[in-house]
Amino acid sequence: MHTTDDIQLELEEPFIIQVENPVSTKKNTACLRFRRLFTLDVQPNEKHHYPVFIIIMSILHIFIHLTTYVNIRWRNQRFIYSLHDLWVYYIPCMRPTPYDIRIRTAHCRSSIQNVTCYYGDELKHKCFSFLYPYQLWRMVTVSLIHSSWLHLLANLSKQILLGILLERKYGSFRIVIVYWLSTVGAVLLCAMLADSREGGIGASGAIYGLALFFTVERLNAIKTNSDHRLFIL
């Protein structure tokens, strides 16, 4: 049973009301815009995958280019020459050359005087003897090397921007297939249309494949829902 003094003490106790601070609208807007750069959501609360493959490939590109660059700088050689040794796309190293072409005389790289050099021997020296002339791994390794830091930066920026968006939505398995099929497809297309004596390096083929995949994905999203954006930003 409460006395009068107890009731008076209870009434004199202050009421504590906690008021939550309002969340900054500008902060939320900035976060949403940042997340928008890395998502291609069609439905709300879609499941997102981790872009493991694109991140690994990007790190691998930087590591290969950096180690090659340091190695060549120590040897005081021109940087671009080191990239044409074993990984460059070069058709004569990937398929047999006719005999009548191989027996033609060519400019000798050897310092020995009065020695006749043949095209087949010089080609074998340029391609390395391992699995020559069936070095088909060049169809894949061509995308791992670049001619300069500017070339690497240009390809890497597009690869990260498109690849992370697509891999977060579709997963690593699909992006791996698109990436390597695009690389091999670009090599085959160059083999049919370009001069077979010219080589090539870079991940441009894979990036074109990612760009095509992104374009088709955006067109399909617009067809499904007109409220979705067409571009990345």
Residues 169 and 217 in one domain: yes
- Higher-pLDDT residue of 94 and 161 is 161
Residues 213 and 142 in one domain: yes
Residue 185, class by beta-carbon neighbours within 10 Å (0-12 exposed, 13-18 middle, 19+ buried)? middle
Task: Report the C-alpha gap between 206 and 34 in whole angstroms.
Answer: 25
The answer to whether residue 209 sits within a structural domain is: yes
The answer to whether residue 211 sits within a structural domain is: yes
We report the CATH number of the domain holding residue 60 as 1.20.1540.10
pLDDT at 205: 93
**Side chain identity, residue 17:** I
Residues 143 and 208 in one domain: yes
Express each pLDDT in 76-101 by its tens digit.
666 555 556 778 888 888 888 887 87
Q: How many domains are there within the chain? A: 2
The answer to whether residue 1 sits within a structural domain is: no
Of 149, 182, 135, nearest to 69 by C-alpha is 149
The band of 57, judged by pLDDT with boundaries at 50, 70 and 90, is very high
Most confident of 45-59, 176-190, 214-228: 176-190
The answer to whether residue 40 sits within a structural domain is: no
Residue 132, class by beta-carbon neighbours within 10 Å (0-12 exposed, 13-18 middle, 19+ buried)? middle
- Higher-pLDDT residue of 228 and 184 is 184
Average pLDDT value for residue range 9-29:
53
- Higher-pLDDT residue of 160 and 2 is 160
Residues 122 and 168 in one domain: no
The answer to whether residue 173 sits within a structural domain is: yes
The answer to whether residue 122 sits within a structural domain is: yes
Query: Which domain range does residue 175 map to?
Result: 45-93+136-222
The model's pTM is 0.71
Q: Is the peptide bond before 51 cis (omega within 30 degrees of 0)?
A: no
Express each pLDDT in 174-216 by its tens digit.
999 999 999 999 998 888 887 767 778 889 999 999 999 999 9
